[in-house]
Structure 1
Amino acid sequence: MRTATISRSTSETSIDVTVNLDGTGVYDVSTGIGFFDHMLEQLSRHSLIDLDVKTIGDLHIDQHHTVEDTGIAIGEAVAKALGDKRGIRRYGDALSPMDETLTRVALDISGRPYLVFKTEFSQKKLGEMDTEMFEHWFHSFAQAAGITLHVETLYGQNNHHIAEAAFKGLARALRTAVEIDPRKADAIPSTKGML
């Protein structure tokens, strides 16, 4: 089983994350931000990555540190669980429809972190979550996991659907990319011999 646990403690947040890349999508998430919890639960369920997240953050200030540091911790846990990345498919992509919204997500577990995020929101909050924090979470996750990640809402109107389609798209692309390719289970998926 490809699993990892990350504990991250600063003066702003205290976070414990455990992932199992070979799981079944079982989750236990608590960040103190209800809508954020809902998105991370979607990430787990649709990627089949078991995800346990316990975040205590300085929400009396704002959501920035909680969202950013949770993205970093989950990304670090995924990177650690991947190890040398031997045998993985490496690439993943998904078209993620949710009612009137369609989102495209493509990623490469390349070791070269980069985010392209072409998604906009027409309201400042979803539940109690600041919508500007979504891009920041995807950025923090991609940087810490070492993933090249492209997220683009092709069209959509409902802000809840736009956010959820992005997380579900990431989940489905990640599921493909972290899977072991039975045709090359012993090989690093790169001509360089390392990622």
Structure 2
Amino acid sequence: MRSATINRHTSETRIAVTVDLDGTGAYDVHTGVGFFDHMLEQLSRHSLIDLHIRTDGDLHIDEHHTVEDTALAIGAAVAKALGEKRGIRRYGDALSPMDETLTRVALDISGRPWLVWKCPFTIQKLGTMDTELFQHFFHSFAQAAGITLHVETLYGDNNHHIAESAFKGLARALRQAVEIDPRKGDAIPSTKGTL
């Protein structure tokens, strides 16, 4: 089973995350931030990665530490569950439409974390969540997971749709990339022999 649990405890947050890369998209997510929970549920459902998250963060200050540390824990759990990355497809991409919005996501499980983010928001909050935290989530996740990640909203007007299409695009691209390719056997998908 390609699964992992990460417990992250700091003076700002206490987090427990479990992922199963070969799941069915089952989720049980509680971060204390409603819109963030909704996005993480989309990530799980559309990636088919089972996701169990319990975050207790310093929400009396703001939502920054909760979002950042949850992203780091999810990324670390994905990296741990991938292990040596033997047999995975490695690359994934998705065009993710949501009504008037279209977002493109491409990623490489390369071991070289990077984020290119081109998703403009025109309002400061969705629910109680600052829209600037979406970029921070994707950056922190990519860093901890060791993923090169490109996210670009090609067009769209509704800020809810822009955020949701980015998370669904990440989910679908991640689903492709973590899948075992039967043609690769247990080979590491790199000419270097390591990722």
In the superposition, the TM-score normalised over structure 1's length comes to 1.00
Q: Which runs of 4+ in 1 moved over 6 A?
A: none
> Hey, what does 1:155 align to over in structure 2?
155
Q: Within 1, Cα distance between the matches of 2:136 and 2:191? A: 32
Q: Unaligned regions of 5+ residues in structure 1, if any?
A: none
> Hey, what does 1:85 align to over in structure 2?
85
Q: Within 2, Cα distance between the matches of 1:10 and 1:194? A: 32
> Hey, what does 1:50 align to over in structure 2?
50
> Hey, what does 2:170 align to over in structure 1?
170
Q: Which secondary structure does the structure 2 equivalent of 1:185 belong to?
A: coil
In the superposition, the TM-score normalised over structure 2's length comes to 1.00
1:113 aligns with 2:76: no
How many residue pairs get aligned? The number is: 195
**Which structure 2 residues correspond to residues 1-195 of structure 1 after superposition, within 5 A?**
1-195=1-195
Q: Within 1, Cα distance between the matches of 2:77 and 2:31? A: 16
Q: Within 2, Cα distance between the matches of 1:59 and 1:32? A: 8
Q: Within 2, Cα distance between the matches of 1:185 and 1:75? A: 25
Give the partner amino acid of 1:125: K
Give the CA deviation at 1:132: 0.6
Q: Within 2, Cα distance between the matches of 1:51 and 1:101? A: 26
Q: Unaligned regions of 5+ residues in structure 2, if any?
A: none
Give the CA deviation at 1:186: 1.2
Q: Percent identity?
A: 83
Give the partner amino acid of 1:173: A
Q: Within 1, Cα distance between the matches of 2:83 and 2:153? A: 31
Give the CA deviation at 1:185: 2.3
Q: Within 2, Cα distance between the matches of 1:159 and 1:149? A: 21
Q: Which secondary structure does the structure 1 equivalent of 2:60 belong to?
A: coil
